[in-house]
Amino acid sequence: MDKLPKIGLPILILIVILIILIAKSTITIESGEAGVLYKTFGNGVVTDEPPLGEGFHVVAPWNKVFVYEVRQQALEENMQVLSSNGLEIKLDVSVWYEPSFEKLGALHQEKGENYVTRVLQPAVRSAARAVVGRYIPEQLYASKREAIQREILDETKILLKDQYVQVNEVLVRDVSLPVNIKEAIERKLRQEQESLEYEFRLTKAEQEAQRQKIDAEGKATANRILSESLNDKILKEKGIQATLELAKSPNAKVVVIGSGDDGMPLILGNN
C-alpha cells in the first residue's frame, strides 16, 4: 500500500506531459484564415506545400504555425500628394486586398506578418503620387475620379507583382483641394454651365426663326402659284359651279340665265 503513491506519481507526471504535448501539437485554423508551418528541425518555413486550411490540425510540438487572415481586407489611406502644377492635394483612398493563398509561405518568409506596412502601403502611396501627378486640380475635382481609381489600381498591381499580395480594387473616397482653388474651380464650372445654357437658348431661337422663315416662304410660294393659276376661264368655271350649288338650295328663288357684267349667271330670288 505504501508503494502505490510512489508508482502513481510518475504516471501522473507522464499524463501531464502527454496532455501538454497534445495541446502543443494541435491547432485550429478559424474561418477565413490559413496557417504557415515553420519546422524547427527542418528547413524552416514550408513554402513548397499549400498552407494549412481551416479546421483542426496536428503538428509536431517543436514546430510553429503562423496564422494569417486570407479574406479580402480593407486598407484606409489618407495621403497628401502633388498635382501636375505642384499644388497639394489631399486624397482619401480605400484599398481592397488579400494575401495570395498559395504563396502564403513565401509571403511569410520574405515579407513577414507586417507585410501591409512593408509592402502594400508603400506601393499604394507611390502609385497615388504617380497618378495624381499627371492631372491638374480641376481634372481631379470635376471629372477624373474614376480614371484616377483605375490608374492607381493598375500602378499598384505593377508594383506588387511577385510580392504575393493581390489588390482587388482601389476606391477614391474624397479629393480635397485648397479652399481658394476649389472656389475658383466652382466659379469656372458655373460660368461654363451658364455659357452652355445661353448657347442652347440662342440655338433654339435661331432654329425657331429659321422655321418661321421657311413657313413664310412656303406660304408665299403657295399664294404665288395660286395667283398665277387663277385666269378668267377658271374663275368663270368656279362661278358656274357655285351657281349650280346655290340652285340646289331648298330656298325659293328665281334663276335668270344670262350674264352679268363679269359674264357670270345671275340669281335673283327670296330667302
pLDDT in tens, 101-134: 999 999 999 999 999 999 999 999 999 999 988 8
227 found inside a domain: no
Q: Which of 18, 52, 69 is the last residue of a domain?
A: 69
pLDDT in tens, 11-44: 767 776 666 666 667 889 999 999 999 998 888 9
201 found inside a domain: no
193 found inside a domain: no
207 found inside a domain: no
CA distances from 224 to 99, 219, 231 (A): 85, 9, 13
CA angle at 98 for the pair 95 and 101, rounded to the nearest 5°: 165
DSSP annotation of 264: -
Radius of gyration of the chain (CA): 47
- In this structure, what are the phi and psi dihedrals at residue 81, rounded to the nearest 5 degrees? -130, 170
- The total number of structural domains in the chain stands at 3
Closest alpha carbon to 127 in 97, 100, 95, 98:
95
97 found inside a domain: yes
3-state secondary structure of 220: helix
Contact in structure between 82 and 133 (CB atoms under 8 Å):
yes
Closest alpha carbon to 64 in 49, 53, 52:
52
Q: Which of 47, 69, 91 is the last residue of a domain?
A: 69
pLDDT in tens, 48-58: 899 999 999 88
Do both 83 and 59 map to the same domain? no
pLDDT by residue for the chain (271 residues), tens only, comes to 455 455 666 776 777 666 666 666 788 999 999 999 999 888 899 998 999 999 998 888 888 999 999 999 999 999 888 888 778 888 899 999 999 999 999 999 999 999 999 999 999 999 999 998 888 877 776 667 788 899 999 999 999 999 999 999 999 988 887 666 656 655 666 666 667 776 777 788 778 778 787 888 777 787 777 666 656 666 566 666 766 666 666 664 555 555 555 555 555 555 5
Do both 78 and 65 map to the same domain? no
Q: Could you identify the residue written with the cell 368663270?
A: 236
Question: What is the tally of helices (H) and strands (E) in the chain?
Answer: 8, 10
> How many whole angstroms separate alpha carbon 224 and alpha carbon 132?
68
Range of the domain at 15: 3-69
